[in-house]
A and B are shown apart, each in its own frame.
Chain A
Amino acid sequence: ETGVTQTPRHLVMGMTNKKSLKCEQHLGHNAMYWYKQSAKKPLELMFVYSLEERVENNSVPSRFSPECPNSSHLFLHLHTLQPEDSALYLCASSQIGQAGYGYTFGSGTRLTVV
């Protein structure tokens, strides 16, 4: 496996369910991110884990809960979501402190909340 891998690719869940999205990076990067992409909107940064420090966007609802057990793995735990949370969720990684390195994105998880 190379790059950034996200699972599952598609997820349909009810508003009372609990599910988790998984991301794994094989690039040796030291930072990982969750982004949300909704129709007709720019990508929105949800959470950052860099050098084991978590930084979050204060506008993200508490029904989204990230977990980063190590520098290669990132999870997004979902519970009691709303239909407006339906979107493409993208994971990315980067190497902090290296201007010559960009972000690498996964293929995303298409989430539908019913």
Chain B
Amino acid sequence: KQEVTQIPAALSVPEGENLVLNCSFTDSAIYNLQWFRQDPGKGLTSLLLIQSSQREQTSGRLNASLDKSSGRSTLYIAASQPGDSATYLCAVRDGNNRLAFGKGNQVVVIP
């Protein structure tokens, strides 16, 4: 069974600092990996999707890397802003089209 771990569980950073969020997974036979953002009481918003054959994806201030062989992904958020405060979820999709989620990184950006 795929296990997904996200470290740290929670972090606070001053505005302007770069954010580094880590995700690890136990089974490297993944189809793709997706990073989501969730605001309190809301649904999930997809940020980036990395296919298993890719090493990274970028969108604006966000960059996600994937090292499938070591079972790791990292989400970088450059020059953090208070509006980046949210929970970030990592999810890996297997060949059976199932998503396994981590518990999330809860981020607070302090103005």
Binding site for B on A (CB under 8 A): 6, 31, 40-43, 45, 48, 50, 88, 90, 92, 94, 96, 99-108, 110
Task: Please tell me if the beta carbons of A42 and B46 are within 8 angstroms of each other in the complex.
Answer: no
Task: Please tell me if the beta carbons of B4 and A106 are within 8 angstroms of each other in the complex.
Answer: no
**Residues of chain A with a CB closer than 8 A to B22's CB:** none
**Residues of chain B with a CB closer than 8 A to A108's CB:** 41-43
A42 CB contact (under 8 Å) in B32, B34, B102: B102
Task: Please tell me if the beta carbons of B97 and A102 are within 8 angstroms of each other in the complex.
Answer: no
Nearest B-chain residue to A33, judged by Cβ: B99
Task: Please tell me if the beta carbons of B31 and A99 are within 8 angstroms of each other in the complex.
Answer: yes
Can you list 7 A-B pairs, Cβ within 8 angstroms, ordered by A?
Answer: A43-B101, A99-B52, A100-B49, A102-B93, A103-B34, A103-B46, A107-B43
Asked if B36 lies at the interface with its beta carbon under 8 angstroms from chain A, I say yes
Task: Please tell me if the beta carbons of B32 and A102 are within 8 angstroms of each other in the complex.
Answer: yes
Nearest A-chain residue to B3, judged by Cβ: A42
Binding site for A on B (CB under 8 A): 4, 31-32, 34, 36, 41-46, 49, 51-53, 89, 91, 93, 97-103
- A34 to chain B minimum Cβ distance, whole angstroms, is 12
Task: Please tell me if the beta carbons of B97 and A94 are within 8 angstroms of each other in the complex.
Answer: yes
Nearest A-chain residue to B103, judged by Cβ: A42
CA distance A108 to B41 in the complex (A): 8
CA distance A106 to B101 in the complex (A): 16
**Residues of chain B with a CB closer than 8 A to A96's CB:** 97
CA distance A52 to B1 in the complex (A): 25
Contacts A102-B32, A102-B34, A108-B43 given; indicate if A42 touches B99 (C-beta within 8 A).
Answer: no
**Residues of chain B with a CB closer than 8 A to A101's CB:** 49
Task: Please tell me if the beta carbons of A45 and B51 are within 8 angstroms of each other in the complex.
Answer: no
- A37 to chain B minimum Cβ distance, whole angstroms, is 9
- B104 to chain A minimum Cβ distance, whole angstroms, is 8
A50 CB contact (under 8 Å) in B36, B52, B97: B97
- B95 to chain A minimum Cβ distance, whole angstroms, is 10
Task: Please tell me if the beta carbons of A31 and B34 are within 8 angstroms of each other in the complex.
Answer: no
**Residues of chain A with a CB closer than 8 A to B46's CB:** 102-105
Task: Please tell me if the beta carbons of A99 and B102 are within 8 angstroms of each other in the complex.
Answer: no
Task: Please tell me if the beta carbons of A45 and B103 are within 8 angstroms of each other in the complex.
Answer: no
